[in-house]
Amino acid sequence: MTQRIVIHADLDYFYAQCEEIVRPELRGKPVVVCVYSGRTAESGVVSTSNYEARKYGVKAGIPIAYAKKMLASVQATFLAMNMTLYEEVSSRIMKMLRTYGDSFEKVSIDEAYLDISNLAEGNFDKAREIAIQVKEEILQKEQVTCSIGVAPNKLLAKMASDYRKPDGLTILQQGGGEIIKFIEPLPVNKIPGVGKKVEEKLNEIHVRTIEELAQVDPIYLIEKFGKNLGNYLFQASRGEDNDPVKDREQPTQLSRIATLKQNSRDPQEILPLLNILASSVLEKLNEEKMESKSVSVIVILTDLSIHTKSVTLESPTKDFDTIAERAKSLLERFVESMPNAVIRRVGIRLSSLQKRAGQTDIVTFLQA
C-alpha cells in the first residue's frame, strides 16, 4: 500500500493579504481588516491583520478601538471587510489547489486538504517538491503566500502548517520518530479541535503538553470526555488520524421556506414558523459541520413578490439563538419598511458558509 501523504494549505493573513494585492502600497505596513458593527464609527472587532500589525498585538477578535490604540504610533490602515474580493481570490486558489490532489477537501475560505499519496508515489521528497510547486503557483498567479504542512494524515498536516507561519513549509515524515518528537513538546491546544474548555479540563489533571496527554490512560480520557472525544484525544496524542480527505462539494448556502397558516404582517404571528425553519436549517448546518456568516429572511407577499433582507454576522456562528434573533429583527425591519405588505410565505437562508475552523470532523460532531 502506498504511504499516505496529506497536504494542509492555509493562506496567510488571508483577508488582509487580499487587500495588499489590490493596494500594493500597503505592503510592509500594518493593515487591519475590520468588522464594523455600525453603532459608532469605531465599534466592531478585528477580522484579521497582517503580520506587521500582529507585531503590535493586533489580532482577530479584539475591538477595533484597542487596535487603533496599539497602532497609534505608526502609520496603519484600517479597512472594512470586502467579502466579494476574498471569495473571488479564494475560489481561484481553491480551483488551482484541487488540480494537485488525488482528492481535495476545502475546509474554509482559506484552508484545504489535499491527498497527494498517488501523485507523490508515497515519497516524502516528491511530496516536498509538490508542496513547493503549490506555493510557487499560488504566489505567481495570485501574489498570495501560504503555509503548508505535509504529513501522513490530516491531523498532522494541519498541525504542521500551523507550525511555521507565514510562508512556511513543514514536513513531518513517517518513520524515525520524527513525528513524536514534533508533537510531544506542543501544548495540547495545538491539537485541532482542542479549544479553551477542553484545554482547561486537561490542565485540571495537570496535562499541558501532548507528551503528558499521551501518558494518560485512555479509559480515563473516555470517562472524562466521553467516548468520541476521549478516543480522539488518545489517538491525537500519538499523531494518529484515519479521517480521509473528503472529495465533495460543500454547500454554499442552506435555506428553508414555508407557507403561513394564515397570511399576516404581524411578526408575533410569523415568528413561531420562522423559528421552526431556523431550527430545521440549523440541523442541516450541523450535519454539514459548517457555520454561517450571513443570515437572510425571505418573504413572499400575497402579490407573490419576493423580498430578501440579509445581515452579515461579526463572526461565523452555529448558534440557534444568534440566528433566530437576527432573523427576528430582519423580519421586523421588513414589516416596518413595507407598511402595506401582507406576508404569505416566509423563509430563512444561511449563507457565507464555512467548515468550522480548525476542527476535525469528530470534534465538530461532538461540539455540534
Rounded Cα–Cα distance for residues 190 and 186 (Å): 7
Q: Which amino acid is at 337?
A: S
Interaction pattern, residues 53-92, with Ca ion; x per rule: CB under 5 A: ----------------------------------------
| 19 touches, from ligand TTP, Ca ion, none (C-beta below 5 to 8 Å by class) | none
Catalytic positions, written as ranges: 111
Rounded Cα–Cα distance for residues 192 and 40 (Å): 36
**Residue 30 backbone phi and psi in degrees, to 5:** -65, 130
| 61 touches, from ligand TTP, Ca ion, none (C-beta below 5 to 8 Å by class) | ligand TTP
Beta bridge partners of 347: 257, 298
| 48 touches, from ligand TTP, Ca ion, none (C-beta below 5 to 8 Å by class) | ligand TTP
Say how many CA atoms lie within 13 Å of 167 toward its Cβ. Answer: 8
Please report how close the Cβ of residue 13 comes to ligand TTP at its closest, in angstroms: 4
Region of residue 250 (phi > 0: left; psi between -120 and 50: alpha; otherwise: beta): beta
> Between residues 50 and 296, which has the closer beta carbon with respect to Ca ion?
50
Please report how close the Cβ of residue 215 comes to Ca ion at its closest, in angstroms: 32
Alpha helices in 167-208, H assignment, sequence order: 178-183, 196-204
> Between residues 54 and 284, which has the closer beta carbon with respect to ligand TTP?
54
> Between residues 11 and 335, which has the closer beta carbon with respect to Ca ion?
11
Please report how close the Cβ of residue 161 comes to Ca ion at its closest, in angstroms: 9
C-beta of residue 253 within 8 angstroms of C-beta of residue 351: yes
DSSP letter (8 states) at residue 3: P
Q: Rounded to a whole number, what is the distance in angstroms from the first to the last CA of the chain?
A: 35
Rounded Cα–Cα distance for residues 182 and 178 (Å): 6
Helix (H) or strand (E) holding 10: strand 6-11
> Between residues 11 and 64, which has the closer beta carbon with respect to Ca ion?
11
> Between residues 173 and 364, which has the closer beta carbon with respect to ligand TTP?
364
C-beta of residue 127 within 8 angstroms of C-beta of residue 6: no
> Between residues 167 and 325, which has the closer beta carbon with respect to ligand TTP?
167
| Contacts to ligand TTP by CB under 6 A | 10-15, 47-48, 60-61, 110, 165-166, 315
Please report how close the Cβ of residue 111 comes to ligand TTP at its closest, in angstroms: 6
Closest-CB residue for ligand TTP? 48
Q: Which of 9, 10, 291, 358 binds Ca ion (CB under 5 A)?
A: 10
Q: What is the DSSP string of 243-258?
A: ------PPPSEEEEEE
Number of residues in the chain: 368
| 104 touches, from Ca ion, ligand TTP, none (C-beta below 5 to 8 Å by class) | none
| 60 touches, from Ca ion, ligand TTP, none (C-beta below 5 to 8 Å by class) | ligand TTP
Residues in 105-164 at the binding interface with Ca ion, rule: CB under 5 A: 110
| 337 touches, from Ca ion, ligand TTP, none (C-beta below 5 to 8 Å by class) | none
- The cell for 223 is 470517562
Please report how close the Cβ of residue 308 comes to Ca ion at its closest, in angstroms: 30
| 20 near Ca ion, judged by CB under 5 A | no
Helix (H) or strand (E) holding 308: strand 306-317
Please report how close the Cβ of residue 352 comes to ligand TTP at its closest, in angstroms: 10
Rounded Cα–Cα distance for residues 250 and 163 (Å): 27
Binding positions for Ca ion, rule: CB under 5 A:
10-11, 14, 110
